Amino acid sequence: MKIVHTGEGVTFAKGFQAIGIAAKLKKSGKPDLALIYSQVPATVAGTFTQNKVAAAPVYVSKETVATGSAQAIISNSGCANACTGQQGLADAKEMAMVTAKELHIDPMDVVVGSTGVIGSFMPMEAIKKGIHDIVPQLSDTGSPAAGKAILTTDTHSKTICGTFTVDGKTVHIGAIAKGSGMIHPNMATMLCYITTDLAISHSMLQKALSAAVEKSFNMISVDGDMSTNDMAIILANGLAGNTCIEEENEDYKTFYEALETVVVFLAKEIAADGEGASKFITIEVLHAKSFAQGKEVGMAIANSPLVKTAFFGEDPNWGRIICAAGYSGGDIDPNHTTLTIGGIPIFEKGMGLAFDQEALAKIMAETNITLTIDIEAGQYEPVIVWTCDLTYDYVKINGEYHT
């Protein structure tokens, strides 16, 4: 994929419009309602939280995705509409219905996403007024506004767009995402909306999205908490004019690579912008015997509060890293494990190594640090996990964020 640095995001692909506004759902008065719209019906795919306590919009959007087709995404921040029972479900459905009515489309073609406080009812009067206000503002340049309106404690919007060629046609793809708190693997661990003008069948689109999410959003961790509201949705409206992709051919592979580029970029952005994060940490697990083993080892390190606070303190405390790998369930043998930080070997065959303390201190002081653990268990390609450090600000943000 050729990445384009225009910030056009979800409106980069042909036929898509978007916008974000302040609908007074947030007390702060910040933008809190986003709309993404395709001028023609699009093929849709989605991945959703696996939390048993899923929010109402997750249930509603799962039904829409199951139909294989959608034309709009209405998404709010400020209220998660989770743990809100039958009333919450009715409210999420009404959000879809009101949006559909204003857009003159079928309610079953509207995806609903929410993020924010759990346990509060959706302020439906404000939402309904917001939807009425937002539709006329849809714009070819509205992606940045939409990207801002889905944020909660994120410090900035995450977006990417680019092009790739399929069947001789230039295809556009773009996305917006939000992350920050309650970030943990097992599903689309945040909100992510992707649009493309590719022509592709529902089953191929879902297959590509599920596979790409597994390698991206499911490989990041901020705090080990899995949200009630996570979803990644992709709309593909076919306006690029390529022959519709209906099997795993070369075109599918070209598209998959572009999609993986998009979601890996956003996943890393989310980990780097984790609540209170001061450092972005890449964990490479080499020579696992399987993806599952590599992921277990990488995730145990990524989730360890002791490792995360050590990075915050800029301390190359390899003991905590090896300790986390040891309890990971990945069944490592410390006597056949090697660890490097920023390329400097610091642990080998069950023991620490002498290393250049000054050089390592310099690496630990950087904001972007890579840790590589070779577990010599098999031949699996590198398994990569992304995380951030654990700081005073994480405690501050989550200790002071009141219900």
Question: Do the strands 191-196 and 169-178 form a parallel or antiparallel pair, or are they unpaired?
Answer: antiparallel
**184 touches its own copies (CB under 8 A):** yes
Q: Which of 72, 151, 235, 325 binds its own copies (CB under 8 A)?
A: 325
Which lies closer to its own copies via its Cβ, residue 258 or residue 321? 321
Residues with active-site annotation:
189
At its nearest, how many Å lie between its own copies and the CB of residue 136? Answer: 34
Q: Which of 6, 186, 367, 368 binds its own copies (CB under 8 A)?
A: 186
Closest CA to 289 of 217, 372, 218, 374: 374
At its nearest, how many Å lie between its own copies and the CB of residue 27? Answer: 16
Residue 391 vs residues 287, 312, 314, 320, 366: alpha-carbon distances, Å: 31, 6, 11, 17, 15
**63 touches its own copies (CB under 8 A):** no
Structure tokens at 327: 């309890």
**43 touches its own copies (CB under 8 A):** no
- The DSSP symbol for 304 reads -
At its nearest, how many Å lie between its own copies and the CB of residue 127? Answer: 19
- Say how far apart CA 35 and CA 317 lie, in whole Å: 46
Question: Which residues within the stretch 238-267 sit at the binding site for its own copies (CB under 8 A)?
Answer: none
Inter-residue contact 139 to 17 (CB < 8 Å): yes
Q: Which of 68, 107, 123, 334 binds its own copies (CB under 8 A)?
A: 334
Piece of 93-101, 102-110, 199-207, 302-310 that binds its own copies (CB under 8 A) = 302-310
Question: Which residues within the stretch 103-142 sit at the binding site for its own copies (CB under 8 A)?
Answer: 117-119
Residue 379 vs residues 297, 342, 383: alpha-carbon distances, Å: 15, 22, 11
- The DSSP symbol for 144 reads H
**394 touches its own copies (CB under 8 A):** yes
| Burial of 104 from C-beta contacts in 10 A (0-12 / 13-18 / 19+) | exposed
Q: Which of 347, 363, 371, 377 binds its own copies (CB under 8 A)?
A: 347
Query: How many residues are there in the chain?
Result: 403
**362 touches its own copies (CB under 8 A):** no
Residues forming beta bridges with residue 175, ordered by sequence position: 160, 194
DSSP string for 29-44: ----EEEEEEEEEEEE
Q: Which of 11, 17, 43, 51 binds its own copies (CB under 8 A)?
A: 51
At its nearest, how many Å lie between its own copies and the CB of residue 331? Answer: 7
Q: How many CB atoms are located within 10 Å of the residue 40 CB? A: 12
Which lies closer to its own copies via its Cβ, residue 118 or residue 198? 118
- Say how far apart CA 154 and CA 273 lie, in whole Å: 7
- Residue 253, classed as helix, strand or coil, is helix
For tokens 């899995």, the residue is 226
Helix axes of 85-103 and 124-134: crossing angle, nearest 10 degrees:
20
Piece of 63-71, 237-245, 330-338, 379-387 that binds its own copies (CB under 8 A) = 330-338
Piece of 1-9, 191-199, 206-214, 395-403 that binds its own copies (CB under 8 A) = 395-403
Closest CA to 236 of 263, 211, 208: 208
At its nearest, how many Å lie between its own copies and the CB of residue 1? Answer: 32
- Secondary structure element (H or E) that encloses residue 281, with its range: strand 280-286
At its nearest, how many Å lie between its own copies and the CB of residue 313? Answer: 3
- Residue 339, classed as helix, strand or coil, is strand
Q: Which of 33, 70, 82, 299 binds its own copies (CB under 8 A)?
A: 82
- Say how far apart CA 216 and CA 293 lie, in whole Å: 17
Piece of 10-18, 75-83, 156-164, 194-202 that binds its own copies (CB under 8 A) = 75-83
Inter-residue contact 51 to 275 (CB < 8 Å): no
Q: Which of 39, 40, 292, 352 binds its own copies (CB under 8 A)?
A: 352
Binding residues for its own copies, how many (CB under 8 A)? 67
State the binding string over 305-324 for its own copies (x if CB under 8 A, else -). Answer: xx--xx-xx-xxxxxx-xxx
Which lies closer to its own copies via its Cβ, residue 173 or residue 390? 390
Q: Which of 13, 33, 54, 173 binds its own copies (CB under 8 A)?
A: 54
C-alpha torsion sign, points 165, 167, 169, 172: negative
Binding residues for its own copies, rule: CB under 8 A, are 50-54, 80, 82-85, 87-88, 117-119, 181-182, 184, 186, 223-228, 303-306, 309-310, 312-313, 315-320, 322-327, 331-335, 347, 349-352, 390-392, 394-396, 398-403
